[in-house]
Structure 1
Amino acid sequence: MSGRISALGLDIGKKRIGVAGCDGTGLIATPLTTITRVGFTDDVAKLQQLIAEREVTILVIGLPYSLAGEWGKQAQRTEKYAERLASVLKLPIEYMDERLTSIEAETQLKTKRGFSPRRDKAQIDAHAAAIILQQWLDHKRLTSH
């Protein structure tokens, strides 16, 4: 990858959207925040603020395939929501397979003192978004050579 990259990784769930960003070099994804979903307009307003602050040029969205790699209802819902977001935010989107990212995020967070999977669901969502974005960044780096 050449030039500056500014992407947001999104882990879209029914209740929350985990959000991650990357450094300008596109090497490292980090969890940023979690948006509690109240309504589409509210979600968009919160994302617009992050997009403006970070000068985002692309959204990377986790698609929840089934463990067997199949496209289920949740993946369809996520795609429909993502398409609406892309249209309103006027940003391109790319999808990444998000299977097991929440489990991986929870495993990583369990090493932190005071972490509780039941209490810290928002933290898990933001970390899952970072894993999704990191996978995309790594894939971009490998395929750009």
Structure 2
Amino acid sequence: MSEFRTGARLALDWGQARIGVAACDPRGTLAYPVETIANVGDERAIAKRLAELVAEYEPIEIVMGLPRHLKGAEGASAAKIRERAQWLTRQFPSIGVRLIDERLTTVMATRQLHDVGRGSRKQRAIIDQAAAVAILDHALTVERNVGEPGGELILEGTQHGGA
């Protein structure tokens, strides 16, 4: 069992319309929401904003939620995320990219916000950030408990035959 790695991390909840972003402190103690990036098909704008965030937070890795069906199978949404993860490895070759199972993170984030009186219709951008926080919290918890980084490390050119 290895020690918990120090270093900030960024987490992305990459959806069709928005990308929720979260970060954590270098000790991995606290994951917190950062912002929501509009995902309107402008890859250059997304790359520019992500590059600014990488420069600001200097993460040791980027964690992305991998949407799976409740039984664990991967569908079209997971395939799109895998493509995005590959794209990120090309954009930031010196930073690790990991995929973490995100089943129910958006549901949990929506419930938590609802519990504190924030409705989901007007708070979609906040829900995306909260989902990114949940993804990052999960990754940090796994690493603390198991002693190894959680999820799947994506290397440039890696192919996956997900079901």
- Does TM-score exceed 0.5, indicating one fold? yes
Cα distance, 1:56 vs structure 2? 1.3
Secondary structure of the 2:144 match is helix
1:92 aligns with 2:111: no
Q: Gapped runs of 5+ residues in structure 2? A: 149-163
The 2-side partners of 1:54 and 1:130 are apart by 15
Answer yes or no: is the 8 Å Cα contact 2:18–2:125 preserved in 1. Answer: yes
1:34 aligns with 2:36: yes
The 2-side partners of 1:93 and 1:86 are apart by 7
Under a length normalisation based on structure 1, what TM-score does the superposition of the two structures give? Answer: 0.93
* Cα distance, 1:81–1:130 mapped onto 2, change above 3 Å: same
Answer yes or no: is the 8 Å Cα contact 1:8–1:21 preserved in 2. Answer: yes
Q: Gapped runs of 5+ residues in structure 1? A: none
- In the other structure, the counterpart of 1:116 is 119
Amino acid at match of 1:51: V
Secondary structure of the 1:110 match is helix
In percent, how many aligned pairs have the same letter? 35
The 2-side partners of 1:43 and 1:70 are apart by 28
Cα distance, 1:3 vs structure 2? 5.6
Secondary structure of the 1:138 match is helix
Cα distance, 1:81 vs structure 2? 1.2
Secondary structure of the 2:115 match is coil
The 2-side partners of 1:69 and 1:23 are apart by 30
1:78 aligns with 2:52: no
Secondary structure of the 1:17 match is strand
Answer yes or no: is the 8 Å Cα contact 2:13–2:19 preserved in 1. Answer: yes
The 1-side partners of 2:73 and 2:28 are apart by 30
Aligned residues: 144
Cα distance, 1:112 vs structure 2? 2.8
The 2-side partners of 1:69 and 1:3 are apart by 28
Answer yes or no: is the 8 Å Cα contact 1:6–1:24 preserved in 2. Answer: yes
